[in-house]
Amino acid sequence: MSSDNHEAIKQAPLGQDTQYVCHYDPTQLFSIERANNWQKLGYDKPPFRGFDLWNAYELSWLDPKGKPQVAIAEFRIPCDSSHIVESKSFKLYLNSFNLTRFDSVEQVQQHLVEDLSRAFGGTVSVAIQTLDAAGIIEPLKGESLDQLDIEVEHYQPAPQLLSSAEGDPVDEQLYSHLLKSNCPVTGQPDWASIQIEYRGQPIDREGLLKYLISYREHGDFHEQCVEQIFLDIYQRCQPEQLSVYARYVRRGGLDINPYRSTEAFTPDNIRLLRQ
């Protein structure tokens, strides 16, 4: 994380005493410039595409008669947006809808699109659905790494653990529920499940699991952790195709699920047991 970002997050609402606002207030959103880790590795442009998928489970507002409405909202933020938004400020912003009257759900959606696109510095798509239409819990696809019998020594990112194994090229999906990092503002744990899909020389599975576990004491935002995982695998293992998709455990009514890929593929917005 750059020194500029360190200074920026000191001003973030997270970890500070906060007055909750219940009338519409887009100024609650607190933007932080994205840390473009790919530039530090010498790339002229990012070797991936993707987005950050946020789900809000506590969206509520009043209809014209003052009757509360509740919904779940999905937000897709392009990974090339200029900024991320600090999660507590996002929560405070959504909370500001609680006692605000809107003529329709379309008006709510319009405000969300305009405010968030401005805050993130990129076009944010917003989908609002009723609670009755919410999706069911599903598992990640592929083979689990979590049953491997390994000895772990690293709890800070250790990309040197990554390597390709000998053998014919493969096309496979691997996942783990053992990813944990820490909030860079409060130090609180951020738990996640992560799915890695690739085509190329087989990735050494024990080394991959050890590498994922090595984030256990690392402090950074969800988006930056997933981006760094993608970049390390991409550089160290050199797959022909690679996708990294993390589903972080919900906090404060929001979950954040970054996706980075060499392909123009959009994954399903599944919901895991811990979400």
User: CB neighbours of 269 closer than 8 A, spacing ≥ 6?
Assistant: 53, 55, 74, 135, 257
Residue 140 is encoded by which pair of tokens? 């990640």
86 is in an annotated binding site: yes
Q: Is 252 annotated as a binding residue?
A: yes
* 164 in a labelled binding site: no
**Is 85 labeled as ligand-binding?**
yes
Give the residue numbers annotated as catalytic, written as ranges. Answer: 183, 190
**Orientation angle between helical segments 222-237 and 205-213, nearest 10 degrees:** 150
Neighbours of 143 (CB within 10 A): 11
Q: How far apart are CA 248 and CA 121, in angstroms?
A: 23
Q: Is 111 annotated as a binding residue?
A: no
Consult the annotation and say whether 65 binds a ligand.
no
In the chain, beta strands by DSSP E:
31-33, 49-62, 68-78, 83-85, 125-129, 143-144, 170-182, 189-200, 241-248, 254-261
144 is in an annotated binding site: no
Three-state secondary structure of 57-107: EEEEEECCCCCEEEEEEEEEEECCCCEEECHHHHHHHHHCCCCCECCCHHH
Strands 189-200 and 241-248, sheet pairing: antiparallel
State yes or no: 122 annotated in a binding site.
no
Residues annotated within the binding site for substrate are 85-87, 222-223
